[in-house]
Structures are given as C-alpha cells and as structure tokens.
Structure 1
C-alpha cells in the first residue's frame, strides 16, 4: 500500500490509500474542489478514486462526501447504517445517490480484491462513529481519531499494524489554560471527545510492535496543541520509552492544508 495524509486537523480530514487495484479516500472532510487539488499534489486524479470510507458524520470528516458522490458516480461510499441514516435524514451533505451507498458495520471485515477493510466502533459524540484497519499485500494500517478513549476491544483490533494514523489532538495544559469555554473543554476531555498527546502515546504503547514502521500524528488542534508538543510526546513515550519499535520507526507529522508524501507501507 501507499498512503498520503492529504489533510488532518480540526478544519478537515482526508487521506489517500492506494493498493494495486484501488485508490481510496479515508474521510472527505474538505470541499470537493479542495480534495481534488490535494490529490493532484500527490499525483492522483480524483476520477481514479473508487471508494470512500467515512468515519462519522461531523463536517470535518464528511463535508465533501455528498459532492464527490454526486460528481463522480464511480465512487462507492462506505459507512455504517447509523451514520447513513443520520446523513440521509438531515441532508447534512445534500442528496446522496442511493446506488453509491454501501454499509459496513462495526466488527465487519469486507474484502475488495486486494484490500480487506475492518471496521470498529469508537467513542465520540457523533451518530455512530467508527474507524478502519486497511490490509493489503500482507501490510496493515490502522486509522483512529475522534475518540475519547481507546478501549481494550479497539486495541485488540488495531494491534500489531505496520502503520498507524493516530489522533494527537491536544496538549492537556494548553487545553485547560486555553481560550475555549469550560463546556467545550469538558466535551474534548470527556470519554466521547478527543485524545490528548499523552493518551494517544499510551494507547500506541499497548499496540505497536517491532513490525510498526510509520506513525502518523493526526487531527492536531490548532488552538490546543503544537506539532512540537505532539512529536515530543510521541517520541518520549514510544521511541525513548518502552515500546517494542524498530530503531528506524518514522513519526510523521500531518498538516491541515499540506499533504504528506506518499509513504510505502
């Protein structure tokens, strides 16, 4: 597989996953036009995208999905029934072409040629949030953001992956001392909120192994975190700590507007 995190942060999230047979988007939280531009920056034509997997209904993950489905009929879009029901009833992303709607429920694994996709439930204040493990050619990458905590069940699904995209949303002290209202701070800190740098690092400590070569630090808050704080927390907990990681493991910072290079997994 090849992976590029096209955009990641509170303003919008989308990633590209390439296998020999597929070009897939993980989430579509920017405008269709912006997603097309980001794909072109890594050498991919949006007309070649054949699948989109949606994590949940929040706009920073779903905003562009309706446009992409209506404009590019080759795209098969996947989410669970709760997410589709909410999006259909609210028309939050406009009219959704029924023939492009596909369902994958938490706990299911579906096979698409050279790609296996496993869905798992997360804990977030959305209709029915879930994330995915993508497997192809014997390699696995696990995506996990927008969750207040990482349960033992989730860890059992994502453990021993070759790569992780993990939420490093906030630095605890920056959030607590920052400008947000106390009610918003409570939401972020709650079990249906987001992962702090330390929480993410500790969760990864339980699942990474000697085969893990890439860790993407994702969904970083622009108000309550910095790239340096996220990177240092990950390095301190995992590289300098007790994680069973290869010496050349790569910790990759992601950006709200700039795609990462295509990384071979």
Structure 2
C-alpha cells in the first residue's frame, strides 16, 4: 500500500491512499489543480481515483470536492451526517446525487482491492469519522480532527503499517495567541483538535515494532510549527510508558503546501 499527504493543515487537507489497483483520496480540501498536481507526483491520474473518503464537512476538508468529483465523476463516501453537511455547503455547487455513497461508522466496506473501515472521532461536525484502509495484509489510517481519544480509538489504530496522526497545536501558543476566547475553547475542547502532547500520548498507545511511518498532520498555521510538533511528539514517546525512544520512531511532519514523500508499506 501507499500513502501520501498532498496537503495537510488547518487551511486544507487531502491525503492519497492506495495500492497498485485502487486509488483513493481522503478529503479534498484544496483546489482541483493542487489535487491533480499531487496525484501526478504519486503517478496517478484524476480519472483513476476510485473514490473520495470524506471525514467531515468542514471547508478545509471539502472545498475542492464539488469541482473534482464532477470533473472525474468520482463516488463520494461519507456518513449520512457528513453528506447532509456537504449538501448545505452552497460554495461546492450541485453535486450529482448518484455520486454520494452513504456509509456507517464501524461498518467496513470495499472499494476495489481496498477494505475501508470508518471509525468515529470526537469533533464538532455532524457525523465525523477517520478511516483505516487495508490491502494484502497491510493497513494505513488517517486520524485527524479529534479533540480527544479513548481505548476504542487505540483499537481502531492498532497494528497499522503507517498512520497520519493529528498534532494540531501547541497548547501554550494557542492560549497566548491571537484566536478569540471562544475559538481557543473550541480547539482545546473534547470536540476540537489534538495538541502535540496528546498526539504523542496517543502515538505511545499505538506504537509497535512494525509501524513503518508516522506522519504528523493537520498542524495549525497560527498555533504550531513543524519543529515544535516533531520534537514534542518525540519527547512524549521517550518519556512515555513504552519500550521506544523518540529517535527510534520513523516520524515526519506533513506540510500544508507541499506534497510529502510517498510512503510504501
């Protein structure tokens, strides 16, 4: 399987996952042109995308959905609540009804050669989910936009070969930063976003010796920066109750405006 972050951050998100036969996108929160440029780097054409897995209806995850799905007639997989949110987003234009494929959290489904498992996440959206995808004994997952996690989240993310994991903000930067009070409370809340520290703790809970790559994603432009997220998560691993040290973890940070290296597992 392959995984590549085309864009990840508070301003737009789009992740490619696939194998030699089936190619998918998780979210399309950037322009059609940027999506196509990212896919070109992976060696995939827009017309080869078999489906778009939408995590939730916030604009940084769907702003390119209308244009891209109409252009290539790509099926859109999302929960009922997310589909309702997409339909209410007038800026997307009219998306043909036959492109929508309603899914349910914790019910797996198949697209081509990939088995997809949508799992619930804690975020202030209608019915948000993360996604786990598997093929030929390998599996990857995208877990961003979750204000908190529990033992079930750890179960959903266990035994992975690669994962995109949210490290949205540094708590101190957020607290003293320019956001208004209500927005700070939203981000810090249990339906907001994971801080660097909490991301590191979640990583400690899902680490195993065959985890080949961890990609830190969905960094806030105003309340985080790459080096801080990277070092904080590494430190949490080193200090955590697990047999690993931060320097032993294959860790990278996804950029909001650059395509990541393609991860193959």
TM-score computed with the length of structure 2 as normaliser: 0.94
Alpha-carbon offset, residue 20 of structure 1: 2.2
- For the 8 Å contact 2:3–2:140, the answer to whether it is kept is no
Partner of 1:252: 252
Unaligned runs of 5+ in 2: none
Secondary structure at 1:51 match in 2: strand
Counterparts of 1:18-29 in structure 2 under 5 Å? Answer: 18-29=18-29
Partner of 1:208: 207
Residue 174 (structure 1) aligned with residue 173 (structure 2) = yes
Aligned length: 264
C-alpha displacement of 1:248:
5.2
- Structure 2 counterpart of 1:61: 61
1:41 is aligned to 41
Q: Quick one: distance in 1 between partners of 2:64 and 2:97?
A: 17
Residue in structure 1 matched with residue 195 of structure 2 by the alignment: 196
Is contact 1:144–1:165 with CA below 8 Å preserved after alignment? yes
CA distance in 1, matches of 2:88, 2:216: 33
Q: 1:153 maps to what in 2?
A: 152
SS state at 1:154 partner? helix
Q: Secondary structure at the match of 2:132?
A: strand
1:1-265 residue pairs with structure 2 within 5 A? 1-73=1-73, 75-239=74-238, 241-244=240-243, 249-265=249-265
CA apart distance, 1:100: 1.3
CA change 1:213–1:249 in 2 (3 A) is farther
Helix, strand or coil: the match of 2:131?
A: strand
- Per-residue deviation, 1:111: 2.1
Structure 1 residue 41, shift from structure 2 partner: 3.1
Find the residue that maps to 2:175 and give its secondary structure. helix
- Distance between the aligned counterparts of 1:8 and 1:90, measured in 2? 21
Partner SS for 1:127: coil
Q: Secondary structure at the match of 2:139?
A: strand
In the alignment, the residues of structure 1 paired with residue 64 and residue 244 of structure 2 have an alpha-carbon distance, to the nearest angstrom, of 36
Equivalent residue of 1:179, what SS?
Answer: coil
Task: Kindly state the Cα deviation for residue 92 of structure 1 after the two structures are TM-superposed.
Answer: 4.7
Following TM superposition, by how much is the alpha carbon of 1:13 offset from its aligned partner in structure 2, in angstroms? 0.3
Q: How far off is 1:50 after superposition?
A: 1.5
What is the CA-CA distance between 1:39 and the residue it aligns to? 1.8
Query: 1:177, 1:183 → 2: CA distance?
Result: 13
**Which deviates more, 235-244 or 127-136?**
235-244
TM-score computed with the length of structure 1 as normaliser? 0.94
Contact 1:211–1:245 (CA under 8 A) maintained in structure 2:
no
Secondary structure, counterpart of 1:4 in structure 2: strand
2-structure distance, mates of 1:244, 1:165: 22
